[in-house]
C-alpha cells in the first residue's frame, strides 16, 4: 500500500488518544485506499511503520500553549522542523526521514501532519476534553481529503478494452 494513515497517541491518557481515535474513525471510510495504523511508538521505532509507504498522514496531539485547545495545525514534513532530542527515542519526522534515506528505505516523500492542540495528554483514564473531541470530525475530514486527493493523482494502471 502506497499511503499510510498513522494515528499516534495513548488511548489511556486523555487527549493523547486523539490520533488513535481518528485512525479508528477513518479505517472503514477509506475502503482499502490506505494502510491505517494506530501506534503509541515514538522516535526511531516509527521507521518500521512509515517505511515502505510513499505518502503518509500522521495525526497526533500537541501541547504548545500557543493556540486554543482543539486548534488543528496542518503541516508538511519540511514545516515540522528538526527536533533537538536527547535520545533517538525522541527523534522527529525529519530525523526519521534522514535515517531512512541513509538506510536505503522507502520513506513517505509526501507527509501531512495533523496535530491538534490538547488540554491534558497525561491523565490516565481521562476522556477527551470537549475542545479536542470537537476537533475529531474535522481531523477525520482532513485525513480523508488528503488520502483521496493523493489517490486521485495516481496514474490509472488498468486499461479499458476498446469497443470495435
Could you tell me if residue 114 is inside a domain? yes
pTM for the whole thing?
A: 0.84
Looking at the predicted structure, is the pLDDT value of residue 155 above 70?
no
Chain segment 126-151, per-residue pLDDT in tens:
899 999 999 999 999 999 999 999 88
Number of domains observed in the structure of the chain: 1
Contact 106, 53 (CB under 8 A): yes
Determine what percent of the chain is predicted with pLDDT higher than 70. 84
Chain segment 70-79, per-residue pLDDT in tens:
999 998 876 6
Q: Specify the residue for cell string 503541516.
A: 75
Could you tell me if residue 62 is inside a domain? yes
Could you tell me if residue 96 is inside a domain? yes
Return the CATH number at 53.
3.40.50.1450
State the residue range of the domain holding 142: 3-153
Could you tell me if residue 164 is inside a domain? no
Distance CA 34, CA 26 (A): 10
Chain segment 2-56, per-residue pLDDT in tens:
999 999 999 999 999 999 999 999 999 998 899 999 999 888 888 889 899 999 9
Write out the E strands in 27-134. 35-39, 55-62, 72-76, 110-117
Could you tell me if residue 126 is inside a domain? yes
Could you tell me if residue 67 is inside a domain? yes
Chain centroid to CA 151: how far?
Answer: 16
Cβ count near 27 (within 10 Å): 16
Could you tell me if residue 158 is inside a domain? no
Could you tell me if residue 10 is inside a domain? yes
Distance CA 75, CA 16 (A): 19
Amino acid at each position: 500500500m502506497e499511503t499510510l494513515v498513522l494515528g499516534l497517541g495513548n488511548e489511556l491518557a486523555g487527549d493523547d488518544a486523539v490520533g488513535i481515535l481518528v485512525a479508528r474513525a477513518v479505517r472503514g471510510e477509506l475502503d482499502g485506499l490506505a494502510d491505517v495504523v494506530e501506534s503509541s511508538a515514538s522516535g526511531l521505532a516509527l521507521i518500521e511503520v512509515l517505511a515502505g509507504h510513499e505518502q503518509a498522514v500522521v495525526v497526533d496531539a500537541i501541547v504548545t500553549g500557543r493556540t486554543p485547545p482543539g486548534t488543528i495545525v496542518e503541516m508538511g514534513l519540511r514545516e515540522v522542523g528538526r527536533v533537538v532530542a536527547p535520545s533517538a527515542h525522541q527523534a522527529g519526522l525529519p530525523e526519521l526521514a534522514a535515517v531512512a534515506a541513509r538506510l536505503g528505505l522507502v520513506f513517505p516523500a509526501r507527509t501531512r501532519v495533523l496535530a491538534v492542540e490538547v488540554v491534558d495528554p497525561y491523565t490516565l483514564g481521562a476522556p477527551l476534553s470537549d475542545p479536542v473531541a470537537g476537533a475529531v470530525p474535522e481531523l477525520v475530514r482532513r485525513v480523508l481529503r488528503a488520502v483521496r486527493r493523493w489517490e486521485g493523482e495516481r496514474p490509472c494502471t488498468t486499461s479499458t478494452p476498446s469497443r470495435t
